[in-house]
Chain A
Amino acid sequence: MLIKCPWCGDRALQEFSYQGDATVARPPEPADPADANWDDEWYQFVYLRDDPKGWHDEVWHHIQGCRKHFKARRHTVTHVIADTAPMSEELKGGDK
């Protein structure tokens, strides 16, 4: 299986490592650090993940290549990767 690093191009899967869900966002800091809701938001941010069947936006790391992180839109059933992009750019393709 080949994954297209946005910089290095098509490279073997073994050069990459999966770094998690690219759709979760770090909770904004609350006005009051003792805010109990913030604990819950962080609990969700750190631990809770959907388990989608279909297209999923993910963070991958070209760990044994250029060592850059990037985003990939992967189908969790077929493993087809519709698109990869630098972290600062939007993914295209799939049915999303």
Chain B
Amino acid sequence: MVEMTERVSALAAIYETGTFGNDVDGGPSVTLHERRPLSIVHIAGNSDDQAFAGGVGKACGCALPIEPGTIATAGELSLIWLAPTRWLAVSPDQGPGILEAALRDACGESGAIIDVSHGRTVIRLSGAHARMVMMKGAPLDFHKSSFTPGRAAQSAISQCGTLITCPAEDTFDVYVFRGFGQHMWEWLTDAAGEFGYKVENPVS
């Protein structure tokens, strides 16, 4: 029997809940929390290959999003377009290797499917000024009419490669490699400081 090591957040050493930053009228207008635990699986394959596209669709419960920068959802699972032939499947933790195994079973010999759950730190920002914080970070068009719920883009914040998604109105998820987690947390909380911000407990 293999003993599983406990998953520890990359932010564990610095994570502190509470209210921080400027004391502004009406209270803090940005809320941050780490999204964890999550199951995150990187998927590579050719969407024209029916065994691959059909398999991913069957395992995830939604069709592969083909249009650049879009997200398909099925319940709490998101299937995010990263690049031509590349996607990320994200859901609340399903248990070690479960989502990866489901995708591999459904796709057979097609595609390359890798569990990267432990390799990413995901930070969620929401609130009236969350969009302003994102505008300070990445050189993307964050206009309300452009980066709408269901959109995703890979870009850079503070020179770190990031995946940014808009899962809901005034809500943004920032994905970075785990090793950049603390830096990104410090950058985002610093940027949110002028608006006043609240840190809540991690939740997937």
Do A and B truly interact? yes
Nearest-Cβ distance from residue A89 to partner chain B, whole angstroms: 13
Distance A8 CA – B161 CA, assembled complex (angstroms)? 15
Contacts across chains A and B counted by CB atoms under 8 Å? 38
Q: Mark B7-29, 1 if CB is under 8 A from A, else 0.
A: 00000000000000000000000
Distance A15 CA – B156 CA, assembled complex (angstroms)? 7
Find out whether the CB atom of B69 lies under 8 angstroms from the CB atom of A11.
no
Residue of A10, A12, A15, A68 touching B83 (CB-CB under 8 A): A68
* B68 within 8 Å of A (CB atoms): yes
- Of residues 97 through 132 on chain B, the ones whose CB sits less than 8 Å from some CB of chain A are none
Chain A positions within 8 Å of B83 at CB level: 7, 65-68
Chain B positions within 8 Å of A14 at CB level: 139, 156
- Of residues 36 through 74 on chain B, the ones whose CB sits less than 8 Å from some CB of chain A are 68-69
- Of residues 68 through 82 on chain B, the ones whose CB sits less than 8 Å from some CB of chain A are 68-69, 82
Distance A15 CA – B139 CA, assembled complex (angstroms)? 8
Count the B residues whose beta carbon is within 8 Å of the partner chain — how many? 14
Distance A71 CA – B68 CA, assembled complex (angstroms)? 18
Q: Mark A31-72, 1 if CB is under 8 A from B, else 0.
A: 000000000000000000000000000000000111110000
Count the A residues whose beta carbon is within 8 Å of the partner chain — how many? 13
Chain A positions within 8 Å of B68 at CB level: 7-9, 66
Distance A64 CA – B40 CA, assembled complex (angstroms)? 20
Find out whether the CB atom of B84 lies under 8 angstroms from the CB atom of A64.
no
Nearest-Cβ distance from residue A6 to partner chain B, whole angstroms: 9
* B154 within 8 Å of A (CB atoms): yes
Nearest-Cβ distance from residue A5 to partner chain B, whole angstroms: 9
Q: Residues on B close to A: CB < 8 A?
A: 68-69, 82-84, 86, 139-141, 153-156, 161
16 contacts between A and B (CB under 8 A): A7-B68, A7-B83, A7-B84, A8-B153, A8-B154, A12-B140, A14-B139, A14-B156, A15-B155, A64-B154, A64-B156, A65-B154, A66-B83, A66-B154, A67-B83, A67-B154
